[in-house]
Amino acid sequence: MTGSQRKTPFGRALDALGLFVVFALLWLAAHFAPGQTGDAALVAALGFLLLAGTLLSELVEIVGLPHLTGYLLAGIVAGPHVLHLIDHTTVERLKPVNTLALSLIALAGGAELEVDALERGVKTLVSATLVQSVLGVLLVGTVFYAVHPFIGFTRELQTGAVIGVSLLWGVLAIARSPSAALGVISQTRASGPLARYTVAFVMTSDVVVVVLLAAGITIARPLVDPTLTFSADAFGELGHELLGSVALGTTLGLVLAVYLRLIGRQLLVVLVALGFGATEVLGYLHYDALLTFMVAGFVVRNMSRQGEKLVHGVEQAGSVVYVVFFASAGAHLNVPLLRDLWPVALVLAGSRVLVTYGAGRLASHVAKDEPIIRRWAWAPLVSQAGFAIGISQIAAREFPSFGRGFGDLAIATVAMNEIVGPIVFKVALDRAKETREPAPSLTNAEPLETAVTAAPAHRPEE
């Protein structure tokens, strides 16, 4: 099942036949043994998503699409909203896989951030972060306000409340998907200035979004409910969460570095235990797991010589987990909801892409970036996934009066970005000539660390 074998027409035909057989077997099982929701159904779903996602990813590669698109499509088609081969209960029971995948993605992403590289690109990073954040919140929020008469849950709201909801939507719009960006880089083995910029931006932008979300909720609360007054308590809680996450991440990184230096064996078991156990503890302490694991990876990379060993271990642990993670994300997509809300969702998703594109060009002009960054810096920022959904759920919980409608519209919009974003980023990497072919399947890909850090330095062209 190597990438080279799958490049031949015979290999592609075998992929298609295998995919048909896998779907047929699950269809037979779903129709002749319905109602199975126990451990057997869970194991069957895991095996199916792994096989179908891998096979379909090889087939979509024929037309130049990223493997990630194949994983998502496999989940969408087999999920509870299309062919009903995997039911809602089983999809919900796959959440622990998502928890493990996100922790591994954050660890790997943090381990790609080298201090020297960040110092060289600090002007680009600061410019992009400021411009994307400010213009994203203001302009996409303005578009939301303009179309609010066509949105069911905002039609009856007062002007101040609509402004508050628009502000929250603007914050949601600047949430990115580190998992999607790193997944595409891993599959294509991309190396170069665009890949390095992508890793640095998407892994640091989450912190900015968390801060802006707290600010947005604080400002929106008195707008939605005039009886409430402005309170800065949320910022104190935010500071506690950020400082605690950074402190625990630093400690975890030092412990991992010592373990890798002195023992280094059974790393797969250690990473799986951390992915499940540490995430639960962090949730109980109200700390941000993504930020904690990202800081841990950063510490291992920059305060020890064990960075490559860590990334290699994460790639080994995540080779199977990532496929199931993105396939289950596809199964989670609410297709009927997307069908009902697609006109408004399309306007909001399209405006977000346009704002992201314009902000990317403006930020690169201000920072005097090299031509590749000026042209394609926006492309990796289109994708949205679980982090954006999490943002919408927090906003929905804080404002129950319109929370359900806000969450439904967010799911429909994020679904569009989740499908289109990886394709756009793959095209950008191809046009920037940073992909390295032949691209192996994710299960055989080389460590992400090599893909991002192995490229020679590029001098900016004026």
CATH number at residue 214: 1.20.1530
What residue numbers bound the domain in which 30 lies? 5-94
Which residues of the chain are modeled with pLDDT < 50? 1-6, 438-462
140: in domain: yes
Asked if residue 115 belongs to a domain, the reply is yes
Whether residues 123 and 206 share a domain: the answer is yes
DSSP string, 393-420: HHHHHH-TTTHHHHHHHHHHHHHHHHHH
Task: Write b or e for each residue in 381-394: b if 16 or more Cβ atoms lie within 10 A of its Cβ, otherwise e.
Answer: bbbbbbbbbebbeb
pLDDT value for 38: 65
Same domain, 49 and 81: yes
Residue 174's pLDDT is what?
92
Tell me: do 208 and 340 sit in the same domain.
Answer: yes
- Whether residue 163 is found in the same domain as residue 47: no
Cα(191)–Cα(189) distance, integer angstroms? 7
Same domain for 12 and 146:
no
pLDDT recorded at residue 233: 67
Give per-residue pLDDT as tens, 207-235.
788 778 878 888 888 888 777 666 666 66
Asked if residue 155 and residue 45 are part of one domain, the reply reads: no
Whether 219 and 343 share a structural domain:
yes
pLDDT at 111: 79
79 and 127 belong to one structural domain: no
Give the N- to C-terminal CA distance of the chain in Å, as an integer: 44
Within 10 angstroms of residue 246's Cβ, the number of other Cβ atoms is 19
Contact 136, 216 (CB under 8 A): no
Whether 52 maps to a domain, the answer reads: yes
Which residue, of 45, 60, 94, is where some domain finishes? 94
324 is a domain residue: no
Q: Do residue 85 and residue 146 come from a single domain?
A: no
Q: Is residue 272 part of a domain?
A: no
- Among 94, 126, 152, the domain boundary falls at 94
The reported pLDDT for the residue numbered 460 is 36
What's the pTM value of the predicted model, to 2 decimals?
A: 0.71
Q: What per-residue confidence (pLDDT) applies to 46?
A: 82
Q: Is residue 399 situated within a structural domain?
A: yes
Do 173 and 128 belong to one domain? Answer: yes
Evaluate whether residue 314 is within a structural domain: no
Q: Confirm whether 86 is domain-assigned.
A: yes
The CA-atom distances, in angstroms, between 418 and each of 74, 170, 298, 304, 387 are 14, 17, 27, 35, 11
The total domain count for the chain is: 2
Block residue for tokens 């954040």: 133
* Whether residues 25 and 73 fall in one domain: yes
Query: Which pLDDT belongs to residue 141?
Result: 94
Of 402, 400, 340, the closest CA to residue 155 belongs to 402
